[in-house]
């Protein structure tokens, strides 16, 4: 089998897989319609998935009398689990799902500033989670890890400003810790993949995702493809300068966006002004109570985020901007400001029709990103291919009902 044939075969498997994930209980005929593939191909893929015990079929309840009885197809509940992890300096957030992405377990643990300790904690957590739920480790289909930092194409963390780590072969380390398939990527890029699979961008090909936790990251999809840049470091929106010589950033520079608008920065700025808040939910409550200091800090964060996003809009003309991570907590206070700055600073035609919205994945955007990475790896798709594009093509093949 040549490379092209093998890629096409993988693409077909992934189309059928995602069609069944999104429409469980479909008949083979419905999968043909949803994917735009021909009957023989769908039948072959369904046979292959069944042989690998990833798919179950049972008779479809009959509606009316006409036609042959049909079978409904589902991804098999017993096939195994995916695990998604968000690795942050203060916290490790873990989620496990069934093969079709349904969340079955959730955990939050303290993080670690020491890379070796953090990695072994990931290993212990994954093994512990599987044991607690009676899932053999061999049934873990893949583990995906979102890392806040600059990851190169080979899974090496070149720089994690808020972790204090640099030049760490993090993917290799995770692979030696865990005896299951492991995938790792920059946290925001992983979250963007999750938006295309489970979130707000299932049919959108041109979007920007902004995630703020300890820092601020972004991921850009253009024509259905994630833009990674030459070495893989594209998307470091948090380090765009908004105030030359301004506040000190985790990267060592001054005046970066994330020194004003990340979760950590907003909390630090409030504390400097004598308003101590535990988290952004508390900040949001203060803004609602019309606390002047909280409003000023949040409005300034929105202004600076809007300025940077206006430049992104002028450069890349996205259809949608999605805000995720901790900022979701203060979205009601931040989004009107961001929209106003975009109207002011983005060129008219570039901003026309632009939608600015909050990620539906909430605080789990990156953990679900880990699930998306694991699913992507499990289906062994080359990373340059895009589910978004595939799904859009598949949808176009479905006649309007």
Residues that bind Zn ion (rule: CB under 5 A) add up to a total of 5
Token pair belonging to 372: 């998306």
Stretch of 95-103, 141-149, 191-199, 252-260 contacting Zn ion, by CB under 5 A: 252-260
DSSP 24: T
Residue 246 near Zn ion by CB under 5 A: no
Tell me which of 211, 256, 270, 294 binds Zn ion, using CB under 5 A.
Answer: 256
Nearer to Zn ion, 74 or 241 (CB): 241
Eight-state DSSP code of residue 134: T
Concatenated DSSP letters of 231-278 = SS-TT-GGGSBSSTT-SB-TTS-BSBTHHHHSHHHHHHHHHHTT---S
Using rule CB under 5 A, residue 362 touches Zn ion: no
* Interaction of residue 242 with Zn ion, rule CB under 5 A: no
Stretch that binds Zn ion, among 103-111, 242-250, 305-313, 337-345 (CB under 5 A): 242-250
Please choose, from the candidates 229, 241, 217, 214, the residue with its C-alpha nearest in 3D space to the C-alpha of residue 311. 241
Residue 251 in contact with Zn ion, rule: CB under 5 A: yes
Tell me: does residue 163 bind Zn ion (CB under 5 A): no
Query: What SS3 state is found at 370?
Result: helix
CA atoms of 386 and 131, how far apart (whole Å): 34
3-state secondary structure at position 27? coil
Task: Return the range that interacts with Zn ion (CB under 5 A); candidates 33-41, 84-92, 246-254, 281-289.
Answer: 246-254
Binding mask 184-223 for Zn ion (x = CB under 5 A): ----------------------------------------
Nearer CB in complex with Zn ion: 60/247 = 247
As measured in angstroms, the least distance from the Cβ of 249 to Zn ion is: 3
Residue found under tokens 């605080």: 363
**Site for Zn ion (CB under 5 A): which residue of 96, 143, 209, 249?**
249
Nearest to 20 by CA among 88, 89, 87, 77: 77
* One-character DSSP codes across 328-351: GGGHHHHHHHHHHHHHHHS-HHHH
Contact between 239 and Zn ion per CB under 5 A:
yes
Stretch that binds Zn ion, among 29-37, 85-93, 99-107, 232-240 (CB under 5 A): 232-240
Helix (H) or strand (E) holding 11: helix 3-22
- Give residues in contact with Zn ion (CB under 5 A): 239, 249, 251, 253, 256
């Amino acid at each position: 089998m040549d490379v092209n044939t093998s890629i096409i075969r993988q693409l077909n498997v992934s189309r059928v897989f995602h069609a069944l994930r999104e429409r469980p209980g479909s008949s083979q005929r419905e999968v043909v319609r949803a994917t735009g593939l021909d009957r023989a191909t769908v039948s072959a893929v369904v046979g292959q998935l069944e042989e690998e015990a990833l798919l179950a079929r049972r008779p479809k309840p009959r509606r009316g009398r006409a036609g042959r009885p049909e079978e409904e197809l589902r991804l098999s509940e017993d096939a195994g689990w995916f695990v998604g992890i968000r690795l942050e300096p203060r916290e490790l957030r873990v989620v496990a799902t069934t093969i079709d992405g349904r969340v079955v377990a959730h955990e939050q643990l303290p993080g670690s500033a020491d890379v070796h300790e953090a990695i072994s904690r990931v290993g212990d957590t994954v093994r512990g989670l599987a044991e607690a739920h009676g899932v053999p480790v061999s049934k873990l289909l893949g583990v995906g890890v979102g890392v806040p930092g600059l990851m190169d194409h080979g899974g090496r963390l070149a720089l994690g400003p808020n972790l204090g780590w640099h030049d760490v072969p993090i993917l290799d380390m995770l692979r030696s810790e865990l005896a299951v398939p492991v995938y790792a990527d920059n946290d925001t890029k992983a979250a963007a993949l999750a938006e295309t699979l489970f979130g707000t961008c299932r049919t959108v090909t041109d979007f920007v995702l902004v995630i703020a936790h300890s820092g601020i990251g972004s991921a850009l999809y253009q024509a259905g493809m994630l833009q990674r840049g030459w070495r893989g470091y594209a998307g470091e929106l948090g380090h765009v300068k908004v105030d030359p010589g301004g506040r000190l950033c985790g990267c060592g520079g001054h005046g970066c966006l994330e020194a004003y608008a990340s979760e950590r920065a907003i909390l630090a700025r409030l504390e400097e002004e004598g308003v101590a808040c535990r988290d952004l939910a508390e900040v949001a409550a203060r803004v609602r109570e019309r606390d002047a200091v909280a409003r000023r800090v949040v409005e300034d964060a929105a202004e600076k985020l809007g300025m940077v996003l206006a430049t992104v809009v002028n450069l890349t003309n996205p259809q949608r901007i999605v805000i995720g991570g901790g900022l979701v907590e203060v979205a009601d206070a931040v989004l009107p400001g961001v929209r106003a700055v975009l109207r002011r600073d983005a060129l008219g035609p570039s901003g026309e029709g632009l939608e600015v919205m909050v990620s539906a994945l909430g605080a789990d955007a990156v953990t679900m990103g880990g699930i998306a990475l694991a699913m992507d790896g499990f289906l062994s798709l080359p990373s340059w291919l895009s589910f978004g594009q595939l799904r859009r093509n598949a949808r176009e093949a479905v006649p309007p009902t």
